[in-house]
Structure 1
């Protein structure tokens, strides 16, 4: 493994992630300041350059290069930045050009268990399920991403051992009972224990062709029902959002992980989500991502990803 490509969904998610990755007090000691850095950028920013490029030293091996990109930067101006189709138009070419050995998709999400809040936690997984949130509205160009993999379970193509790195991330963030956890509690319904969770059975459920935030609660319930009918036994839905699945089908077979900072509880979008909630949760994602990148650098260039 010589290169990792980190793909972050929106500008407002990218900025807090990069804040965490460049903070001299909070980023891991083993994570150097980026060689290339393009932040802060306004929400209407468009560019082909990466937001950041890191070079992580490794003993006895060449450095591990990490390129960070924002999907919104690549999208056409004037297009709804939640358009699944527009994301799918720009991602395959960008992913192919970077030629990474591993891709990490980063997008804020809700947690599909309304019984206990997970707000502020971070979820790491490698399986994907895509639900069409507007199957009867494909005439609208904002709602017409059509792909044969929609409605099917897409199994992880990452070695199961990689997911144990979530334990390393937790230890380094001190996210254990009694620890001085570095993750920040979000203002609305924070989880009782902030952690980074990861497992080879974790799945990102993505609803595509959805641009109306007000429809999330209804569509998320539909997506979970469809996932339950399609998923193999033992696999769980641990993240619901709109982008991880689009990133997955934009690859050409590269190993891919998803990393979801959790912002809200299932069916509580309007109660939980604010700009501050989004910022804090995405910042936590950046803290976890920094530790994960360092753990992957230590994992070794010759080990199976």
Structure 2
């Protein structure tokens, strides 16, 4: 696969333009959804007992991160400057760690799909076209499974708009592709190239979540896994019905094209905003329909452990992924 080369690139941030100059190597973007998912990711990537030894040359850009509280919509506050939390080197690549929520205007709901879609291009424009984009976050599993604490890795997504029948689209995102399986430009051989040693190194570091943990805790990576996205939900009360409707849409429109790997809100959005080779990593917190039973009672611990395990998986898979991309 041909190496890409960094030259001068311009980063749009609201009305501002900042010039960035990059060295010649591959560009990998790790994009976490919420700040409380990004924090465990950062902890793992810095911890020398949690990650492979090949990571080096850490450069902090916006870390530790100072959270900006929600602000009134009028007058509208300025957009945050689009910079990663930090970067580091992994073999042939410069890896950037991003938090999508931290790019959003503080006047907007942090779950707004429309706002995520608006601000993500600024992160992508921070450098030349990424060689790999990895969406990272917590997720549910399909009903009937007990895999809390496990990690699912895949490359295909399916998006369903929870409010697609609404005539008034104010504040909503209209996916350019929906109710269909969306492929990734990432070659299928990349996932097939994950070594058993990397997989076992990750699993040995997984922690059990407090509610209904899987036994054993597994890293499950496969080209057959499809992440189901339900978008335009801005209230966690909607999780009582929206994920199930997305699953029903998948069963109606894409049955037999793959199996449900995870169910969440943002992996698919990230996939559609960037046409770069794409992978998702989901830390499982609950089966669909049990959010208020298995997440809400221990929201910090359940989400933090799942994010930690997903970060462990990402850290140990990253050298394998970059090695295959560099061939």
For normalisation by structure 1, the TM-score amounts to 0.88
Partner of 2:186: 158
Superposed CA RMSD: 1.9
Residue in structure 2 matching 1:95, options 102, 124, 131:
124
Max Rg structure: 2
Q: Secondary structure at the match of 2:126?
A: helix
**Unmatched tracts of structure 2, length 5 or more:** 4-25, 70-79
> 1:284 offset after TM fit, Å?
0.9
Asked if the contact 1:109–1:263 (Cα under 8 Å) also holds between the matched residues in 2, the reply is: yes
Partners of 1:166 and 1:72 lie apart in 2 by 32
Partners of 2:81 and 2:37 lie apart in 1 by 16
Q: Which runs of 4+ in 1 moved over 6 A?
A: none
Q: How does 1:22-41 map to 2 (within 5 A)?
A: 22-32=46-56, 34-36=58-60, 38-41=62-65
For normalisation by structure 2, the TM-score amounts to 0.83
Partner of 1:125: 154
Partner of 2:12: none
* 1:83 and 2:83 correspond: no
* 1:294 and 2:319 correspond: yes
Partners of 1:208 and 1:49 lie apart in 2 by 25
Q: How does 1:36-51 map to 2 (within 5 A)?
A: 36=60, 38-44=62-68, 46-51=80-85
> 1:148 offset after TM fit, Å?
3.4
Partners of 1:76 and 1:219 lie apart in 2 by 25
Partner of 2:86: 52
Change (3 A) 1:297 1:248: closer
Residue in structure 1 matching 2:227, options 200, 204, 209:
204
Residue in structure 2 matching 1:183, options 206, 213, 219:
206
Asked if the contact 1:166–1:196 (Cα under 8 Å) also holds between the matched residues in 2, the reply is: no
Partners of 2:195 and 2:303 lie apart in 1 by 22
**Unmatched tracts of structure 1, length 5 or more:** 58-62, 176-180
Partner of 1:271: 293
Q: Secondary structure at the match of 2:279?
A: strand
> 1:12 offset after TM fit, Å?
0.8
Give the count of matched residue pairs. Answer: 288
CA shift digits 1:109-129 (9 cap, x unpaired): 0011x3231111111101111
Partners of 1:189 and 1:41 lie apart in 2 by 32
Partner of 1:249: 272
* 1:108 and 2:148 correspond: no
